[in-house]
Amino acid sequence: MSSKFAIFKKGLLDISPLLIPVVPFGIIFGAIGIELGFSPLITYATSLIIFGGASQIVFIQLLSGGASSLVAITSVGVINSRHFLYGAVLTEYLEKLSLIKKLLISYLITDQTFAVSSKYFKNHKINNHSHYHLIGAGIILWTTWQVTTIIGIFLGSIVPEEWGLKFAIPLTFLAIIVNDFRKLDHVLVMIISGISSLIFFDIPFKAYIIITPLIGLLSALIIIRIKESL
């Protein structure tokens, strides 16, 4: 049985390649927060309180574009609903932990920690210390995100608007989904969702960001049905 620290270190090492894109992403987020006119304090607070990169960018972008708080908050929920999926997979491996430990460890669940720790759990025999893998991966990712947000906040007040840093927003989201570009079903859902967002863009409160995922998931359901019947 490996020691707590060894497993913690393994988590830290496993996630380190995934930290590389987090650095520019965090800096971009901090800089955009300032560019969109938010105070440094509240821009940073979203990194601490929400701690979900993509959802934070959408959140500040929607609010600065005149969306209602309700829509902005709901869209954060929709974007982060993928955590339900991660939790559903991880719960199997964390079942033996106390409620307090489960609640604490949950804060560290992200795309990256899920990716590396679920793989570790799957390939190693689960023991009393296994969850230290997720803690190690999560803590280093969390620290990276907090520090890079702060760097971005400082850079944001230096970088001129003409650099078009705002264009980094769609690019960042595109980068997150490049792995699914080779799956036809996913590409179909992407195109349907993209067109739907253009069609519904002008309806009040920026509600297109809620309507589109509903349409997208419905088409995903239909695609799954069709695939099953083939």
Partner 1 sequence: MSWLSVIIAGLITYFTRFSMITFVNSKMMSKKVRLVLSYVPSTVFPAIIFPAVFFNDNGYFVDVNDPKIFGILAAIIIGFFSRSIIATIISGLVVYWIFIL
**Angle (CA) 133 135 136, round 5°:** 65
Contact flag: residue 230 with partner 1 (CB under 8 A): no
Q: How far is the CB of 113 from partner 1 (least distance, A)?
A: 10
| Shortest CB 97 distance to partner 1, Å | 9
What is the smallest separation between the CB atom of 112 and partner 1, expressed in angstroms?
11
Find out whether 28 and 156 touch, Cβ atoms under 8 Å: no
Is 179 one of the binding residues for partner 1 (CB under 8 A)? Answer: yes
Closest CB to partner 1 among residues 116, 189: 189
Q: How far apart are CA 26 and CA 53, in angstroms?
A: 7
Residue range at the interface with partner 1 (CB under 8 A); choices 6-14, 16-24, 121-129, 144-152: 16-24
The answer to whether the beta carbons of residues 61 and 36 sit under 8 Å apart is: yes
Distances (CA, A) of 18 to 112, 144, 197: 7, 11, 30
Instruction: Output 15 or 79, the one with its CB closest to partner 1.
Output: 79
Determine which residue in the list 32, 79, 137, 141 makes contact with partner 1, applying CB under 8 A: 79
Residue 54 or 140 with smaller CB distance to partner 1 = 54
**Would residue 164 be called left, alpha or beta, if left means φ above 0 and alpha means ψ between -120 and 50 degrees?**
left
85 binds partner 1 (CB under 8 A): yes
Look up tokens 């863009």; give the residue: 201
Nearest to 205 by CA among 55, 62, 37, 80: 62
CA angle 72, 53, 91 (to 5 degrees): 100
Q: Which two tokens stand for residue 146?
A: 């907090």
How many residues touch partner 1 under the rule CB under 8 A: the total is: 92
- Compute the least distance from the CB of residue 154 to partner 1, in Å: 20
Q: Which long-range contacts link 46-53 to residues 24+ away (Cβ below 8 Å)?
A: 47/145, 47/146, 47/149, 48/146, 50/76, 51/107, 51/110, 51/142, 51/145, 52/76, 52/79, 52/80, 52/110, 53/22, 53/25, 53/26, 53/29, 53/145
Site string for partner 1, 133-162 (x = CB under 8 A): -----------------------------x
Given 125, 160, 161, 182, the residue binding partner 1 (CB under 8 A)? 182
Minimum Å distance from CB 187 to partner 1?
Answer: 8
Residues 30-69 that bind partner 1 (CB under 8 A): 38, 42, 45-46, 49-52, 54-55, 58-61, 63-64, 69
Residue 216 binding partner 1, by CB under 8 A: yes
How far apart are CB 141 and partner 1 at their closest, in Å?
13
